[in-house]
A and B are shown apart, each in its own frame.
Chain A
């Protein structure tokens, strides 16, 4: 009879963190506690690639391409790499796809768990710090080639603005202004956004800018997938405002992507910025 009740760790007050609780109760469920044999393991699993995010007046958008690669092979052409973390935030992931998707699930549960236990949501910085802690716990695997690098964005209700955070594999957390990109195509995407981003963009303008940036990334990086017009596969786009986050419907993204493609038929390098 004594075995059937909930274990004592369930009833112990103290932590509001799901990851901490899991570390005590079922550490084998944590993605970072997996034992991996020594040596590089980076080529074992698919890699996700480019994520871009940009703020606009009253919110923030994040978009990710749909390609996962294994070396020179395209492992999947419609993978989803941008996920809602909670109602007001979104996380996109680059790096080892399997670990990253599991880490996103852990992060989503972490935020919801805190909200239910404490009766209030974490602050934007609190969420960003929790994600940093999860990434830091993965450092051992990252050093064997199984790195996960997220990009985190959300609407900060206290500051009334969209905010973007980037990370490194050691769990370093850096707040970015205006726009940022991670993943193999991020250099090209960031260069593109530098020329396209303006402070006065509205939500649709910001979505157009990030899809342009993904196009430019796909143009020059073989691991980033461009719009797949024959299969109608387009980037995953999330828009977050003070009303919460929405996954932009595929037909709306397709309409913007089609406009961009039509313009690139005229000028394949995309819109030209003025020289001065």
Chain B
């Protein structure tokens, strides 16, 4: 007879928040920064196709960090909501605030519903106005909280360090080029070094109120970025991050359990429920561990460290299979 464990609501919410925060912290940062003619988004993203910053509507843009499939889902929902509202009413009736509210309700509901995994995302919703004072920048977290940001905002992995650098160097009302330089320097800044991010690895987009078309969103391509940023010293690409989808990298068969990789086929210290070939349950472990070796609790998995050494096998459990399919 088994009794369900009691988990306090505080603990439950804390666990879910920790889970979401861990997922977000694995990604690289995105900066939204206000400049004289609008709002600029800068992120380090080696992929040319999988965007973190996108257009939602005439004056509204969307930026996100975290799990790609989840924020892509939110982005498409936002485009549909905005286009439907603009079609049913008028283009001017689509507002960033309305969109931010819809996202907040959605994220909040998913976070607090027991049956769903919380979204591991954080998003910016920005709307450019006719004057810098009427620009709006909302930051939404995984649990549906909305913050109204001014000047600049950072989300993602090293958000604190990047925001610290921006706090020192941000100037209100800067030109596009100046704002871009400050943001790129902040993204390359870490406690140990100041890295020059290659222009080809930057994803930069802006909501520019001076654009003559009704659609104010534009992407700044590599050629334009090189022109603005100019000579910055030798460029240094970032080390591969878990969020980079490397071509051809399927599930890893390292023989070791990597807690950060849900696609690995090894379960580390956890014995398989049954023999994968015969379907027989495994031989029951000895009732008492050998006296010479006291049981050692495995160290907690280190998040954000792909390829961390496998956990030591707890005594009394069968060794993990070295290769899937081998018994």
Closest to B50 in A: A119
Give the bracket for the number of chain A residues in contact with chain B. 20 to 34
Contact B110 A5 (CB under 8 A): yes
Bound Cα distance A22, B88 (Å): 10
User: Does B127 make an interface contact (CB < 8 A)?
Assistant: no
User: Does A112 make an interface contact (CB < 8 A)?
Assistant: yes
Bound Cα distance A2, B106 (Å): 9
User: Does A117 make an interface contact (CB < 8 A)?
Assistant: yes
**C-beta contact mask, B36-77 vs A, less than 8 Å → 1, else 0?**
000000000000010100111000000000000000011011
**What are 20 inter-chain pairs, A to B, with CB distance below 8 A?**
A1-B112, A5-B108, A6-B102, A6-B106, A10-B76, A10-B77, A10-B81, A11-B77, A11-B106, A13-B73, A13-B76, A18-B80, A25-B80, A29-B84, A109-B83, A109-B86, A112-B83, A116-B55, A116-B83, A119-B49
Give the bracket for the number of chain B residues in contact with chain A. 20 to 34
Residues in A whose Cβ lies below 8 Å from that of B19: none
> Would you list which residues of chain B between 105 and 152 have a CB under 8 Å from chain A?
105-106, 108-110, 112-113
Contact A5 B109 (CB under 8 A): yes
Q: Which among B49, B109, B113 has the greatest number of chain A C-beta atoms within 10 A?
A: B109
Bound Cα distance A5, B106 (Å): 4
Residues in B whose Cβ lies below 8 Å from that of A136: none
> Would you list which residues of chain A between 26 and 83 have a CB under 8 Å from chain B?
26, 29
Residues in A whose Cβ lies below 8 Å from that of B55: 116
Bound Cα distance A192, B81 (Å): 46
Least Cβ–Cβ distance between A115 and chain B, in angstroms: 9
Closest to A119 in B: B51
Least Cβ–Cβ distance between B121 and chain A, in angstroms: 13
Contact B54 A116 (CB under 8 A): yes
Closest to A16 in B: B76
Residues in A whose Cβ lies below 8 Å from that of B73: 11, 13
Residues in B whose Cβ lies below 8 Å from that of A18: 80, 83-84, 87
Contact B84 A22 (CB under 8 A): yes
Closest to B73 in A: A11
Contact B109 A4 (CB under 8 A): yes
Given contacts A10-B77, A13-B73, 12 further A-B contacts (CB under 8 A): A1-B112, A5-B109, A6-B77, A18-B84, A21-B80, A21-B84, A109-B83, A116-B79, A116-B83, A117-B76, A119-B51, A119-B54
Least Cβ–Cβ distance between A114 and chain B, in angstroms: 10
Interface residues of A (CB under 8 A from B): 1-2, 4-6, 10-11, 13, 18, 21-22, 25-26, 29, 105-106, 109, 112-113, 116-117, 119
Least Cβ–Cβ distance between B125 and chain A, in angstroms: 14
Contact B87 A29 (CB under 8 A): yes
Residues in A whose Cβ lies below 8 Å from that of B87: 18, 22, 29, 105-106, 109
Pick from B102, B109, B215: contact of A1, CB under 8 Å: B109
Least Cβ–Cβ distance between B183 and chain A, in angstroms: 23
**C-beta contact mask, B78-94 vs A, less than 8 Å → 1, else 0?**
01110110111000000
Residues in B whose Cβ lies below 8 Å from that of A113: 79-80, 83
Least Cβ–Cβ distance between A202 and chain B, in angstroms: 25
Least Cβ–Cβ distance between A122 and chain B, in angstroms: 15
Residues in B whose Cβ lies below 8 Å from that of A29: 84, 87-88
Least Cβ–Cβ distance between B212 and chain A, in angstroms: 11
> Would you list which residues of chain B between 215 and 241 have a CB under 8 Å from chain A?
215
Bound Cα distance A106, B55 (Å): 19
Bound Cα distance A243, B277 (Å): 64
Bound Cα distance A253, B215 (Å): 26
**C-beta contact mask, B294-311 vs A, less than 8 Å → 1, else 0?**
000000000000000000
Residues in B whose Cβ lies below 8 Å from that of A116: 54-56, 79, 83
Residues in B whose Cβ lies below 8 Å from that of A6: 77, 81, 102, 105-106
Residues in A whose Cβ lies below 8 Å from that of B109: 1-2, 4-5
Nearest 3 A-B pairs (CB), nearest first? A10-B77, A4-B105, A5-B109
